[in-house]
């Protein structure tokens, strides 16, 4: 376990580099295959609309996987993530065009804990909607 960020170099409010992640229908099909979640609301527009959704939506777990990359890219070692939890507040709606949607993720250190650990709070938005709530990770720093 080798984090590239030192515990002594961060304080409450330290911002992690924000990132924007693209998501298209092709992304969702690829994620469905890799994760084994073939729920048609994530790739079948007709089905999604029939169950009352505005369009195909991204897997919540896909959004969760993208958001933590802001933390794992910052800390270097993905094994440094000790805890990670989110609430799925709004869906990421993915239109069938060449652009799809984007997930914008920002994060900052919200608490300094014992044992060289910090709590990072994440904010994930798509368009002007907050798509993850209570999104938090505990990270083991060097």
Under the rule (CB under 8 A), what is the footprint of another protein? 1-2, 21, 27, 30-31, 33-37, 41, 51-53, 57-66, 68-69, 72-73, 76-79, 81-88, 90-91, 134
Pick 33 or 96: Cβ nearer another protein: 33
Phi first, then psi: what are they for 35, rounded to 5°? -95, -20
What is the nearest approach in angstroms of another protein to the Cβ of residue 97?
Answer: 19
Between CA 47 and CA 50, with CA 49 as vertex, the angle to 5 degrees is 65
What is the nearest approach in angstroms of another protein to the Cβ of residue 34?
Answer: 4
Pick 11 or 68: Cβ nearer another protein: 68
Pick 48 or 109: Cβ nearer another protein: 48
Between CA 112 and CA 117, with CA 114 as vertex, the angle to 5 degrees is 60
Pick 4 or 96: Cβ nearer another protein: 4
Distance of CA 17 to the CA centre of its chain: 14
**CA–CA distances in Å: residue 45 to residues 15, 29, 97:** 37, 13, 12
What is the nearest approach in angstroms of another protein to the Cβ of residue 111?
Answer: 16
What is the nearest approach in angstroms of another protein to the Cβ of residue 119?
Answer: 13
Identify the CA nearest to 107 among candidates 128, 117, 121: 121
């Amino acid at each position: 376990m080798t984090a590239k960020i030192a515990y002594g170099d961060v304080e409450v409010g330290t911002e992690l580099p924000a990132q924007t992640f693209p998501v298209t229908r092709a992304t969702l099909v690829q994620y469905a295959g890799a994760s084994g979640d073939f729920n048609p609301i994530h790739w079948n527009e007709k089905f999604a609309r029939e169950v009352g959704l505005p369009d195909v939506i991204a897997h919540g777990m896909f959004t969760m996987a993208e958001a933590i990359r802001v933390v794992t890219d910052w800390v270097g070692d993905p094994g440094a993530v000790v805890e990670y939890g989110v609430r799925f507040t709004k869906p990421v709606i993915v239109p069938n065009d060449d652009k799809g949607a984007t997930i914008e993720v920002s994060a900052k250190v919200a608490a300094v804990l014992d044992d060289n650990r910090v709590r990072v709070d994440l904010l994930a938005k798509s368009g002007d909607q907050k798509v993850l709530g209570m999104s938090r990770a505990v990270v083991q720093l060097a």
